[in-house]
Amino acid sequence: MDAILAQLLNGLDKGGAYALIALGLTLVFGTLGVVNFAHGALFMLGAFCAVAFRQLITMETTTVDPGQLSPWGAPLEIKTPLAQTWFGDFGAVMIEYSVPLSIVLAIPVMLIIGIAMERGIIKHFYKRSHAEQILVTFGLAIVAQEVIKAIFGPNPISQPMPTSLRGAADVGLWLGMGPNVLTYPWWRLIYFVFSAAIIAAVFAFLRFTTFGMVVRAGMADRETVGLLGINIGHRFTIMFGLAAVVAGLAGVMYTPLVPPNYHLGMDFLVLSFVVVVVGGMGSLPGAVAAGFLLGILQSFASMAQVKGLIPGIDQIIIYLTAVIILLVRPRGLIGRRGMMES
């Protein structure tokens, strides 16, 4: 029982990342009708916002103190991070919590990147075929990851999580089990809660604001909304920016779990496309449900008992699910009837 529960929990944080990326992909597809192969790159750019933020606030000034001597007799060099010089103790706290704080940086940066991408390139591709959209966004993804590689180098840069969140939560205790039966790292728990909150926020935004209502109307029938005198293209651009922000935030918070390197986005992109397809192209609840479902499926497939039964299943389970879904039910789990169902 607790083994199953543990796998369920293990699947949740990865599922959260899948769900967030797939949500953004679906937003872009549902609003603009664009198949965005650069979406994984946006996730990666978000992760590197966190890296850049940390590098910025931990830039150090070195002062030589001739009064103090290091053990081998040279004058002691004292390194002070800039943030500490500027903000004092608050600076130290900033460095400690650099990952969650970099959300502040990531939101505007990702919004600008998203809008620039849409206005600069993608808007010219609405009328062109899906194959060409795939090609141009694939090219953009290469450019994005190479730029990051040129700036930050090819090696993964690990981002420490705040010390206070390093341990594991004793989830079993909350559920009335004995202590240490079922533990779960705090950061993963936070990631899950965070992704759930973002997903809720996006849905609430679409459901309860006028802007969201117009966007939903535009998704259903773009032409009519346009005829009513609403500049729907303008709003769709903002939705693209929003999708970029969602992907970016998913990336920021994921950095303590996996040290980001420049091809992080590509690794997630393939999976998140699979998630979108499984959920149903263009269906937002589908993307979220499929994200968590596949995350959990994957963690169950990597259980030793399951692997003993079918060797190698943990490596291919996601793709296998996608193949089966595509062949049996191409509109996905919750997809609209007739959506890309050819």
Partner 1 sequence: MNALLMSRRDAVTLAIFALVVLTMPVWLQPFGAAYPGLMQKFAIYAIFAIGFNILFGLTGYLSFGHAAFLGVGSYTAVWSFKLLTMDALPAIAFAIILSGLLAVVIGYLSLRRSGIYFSILTLAFAQMCYNLAYSVLTPITNGETSLQLNLRDPRIIDSALAPRPAGLPSAGLFGHTFTGLEGFYFCAAALLIAFFIAQKIFASPFGMMLRGIKSNQTRMNYTGFNTRPYALSAFVISGMYAGLAGALLAVTDPLAGAERMQWTASGEVVLMTILGGVGTLIGPVLGAWIIKYFENIFSAFNEQIVSRFFDFLPAGAHEVVTAVASKFVGEGWNLTLGLVFVLIVVFLPGGIMEGVRRIAHLFDKSRRAPKAPAKLSTQPAE
Which token pair is 290? Answer: 């499929």
One of 1, 131, 304, 309 touching partner 1 (CB under 8 A)? 131
306 is an interface residue for partner 1 by CB under 8 A: no
Give the residue from 334, 339, 288, 292 showing the smallest Cα distance to 23.
Answer: 288
Which ranges constitute the DSSP H helices of 255-329?
264-279, 284-301, 304-309, 313-328
CB atoms within 10 A of CB 131: 8
312 is an interface residue for partner 1 by CB under 8 A: yes
One of 88, 108, 139, 160 touching partner 1 (CB under 8 A)? 139
What is the Cα–Cα distance from 93 to 87, expressed in whole angstroms? Answer: 10
Q: CB 34 → partner 1: shortest distance, Å?
A: 11
Residue 142 φ/ψ, nearest 5 degrees: -60, -45
Report the site for partner 1 in 241-270 (rule: CB under 8 A): 266, 270
Is there a contact between 171 and 182 (Cβ–Cβ < 8 Å)?
Answer: yes
One of 192, 273, 292, 300 touching partner 1 (CB under 8 A)? 273
How far is CA 21 from its chain centroid? 5
Size of the site for partner 1 (CB under 8 A): 42
Q: CB 342 → partner 1: shortest distance, Å?
A: 6
Q: CB 219 → partner 1: shortest distance, Å?
A: 18
322 is an interface residue for partner 1 by CB under 8 A: yes
What is the Cα–Cα distance from 22 to 24, expressed in whole angstroms? Answer: 5
What is the Cα–Cα distance from 60 to 32, expressed in whole angstroms? Answer: 44
Which token pair is 338? Answer: 């007739």
Stretch that binds partner 1, among 78-86, 149-157, 207-215, 227-235 (CB under 8 A): 149-157
116 is an interface residue for partner 1 by CB under 8 A: no
Which C-beta is closer to partner 1: that of 216 or that of 307? 307
Residue 176 φ/ψ, nearest 5 degrees: 85, 15
339 is an interface residue for partner 1 by CB under 8 A: no
Q: CB 163 → partner 1: shortest distance, Å?
A: 35
CB atoms within 10 A of CB 258: 16
Report the site for partner 1 in 18-57 (rule: CB under 8 A): 35
Q: How, if at all, do strands 60-69 and 75-81 pair?
A: antiparallel
What is the Cα–Cα distance from 20 to 27, expressed in whole angstroms? Answer: 11
What type of residue sits at position 250? A
Report the site for partner 1 in 55-84 (rule: CB under 8 A): none
Which token pair is 258? Answer: 């996996």
Which C-beta is closer to partner 1: that of 39 or that of 188? 39
134 is an interface residue for partner 1 by CB under 8 A: yes
146 is an interface residue for partner 1 by CB under 8 A: yes
Q: CB 175 → partner 1: shortest distance, Å?
A: 34
Give the residue from 301, 268, 287, 266 showing the smallest Cα distance to 335.
Answer: 287
Q: CB 223 → partner 1: shortest distance, Å?
A: 20
Which C-beta is closer to partner 1: that of 96 or that of 123? 123
Stretch that binds partner 1, among 180-188, 246-254, 292-300, 306-314 (CB under 8 A): 306-314
Site residues for partner 1 per CB under 8 A: 35, 121, 124, 128-132, 134-136, 138-143, 146-147, 149-150, 154, 266, 270, 273-274, 277, 281, 311-312, 314-316, 319-320, 322-323, 326-327, 330, 340, 342
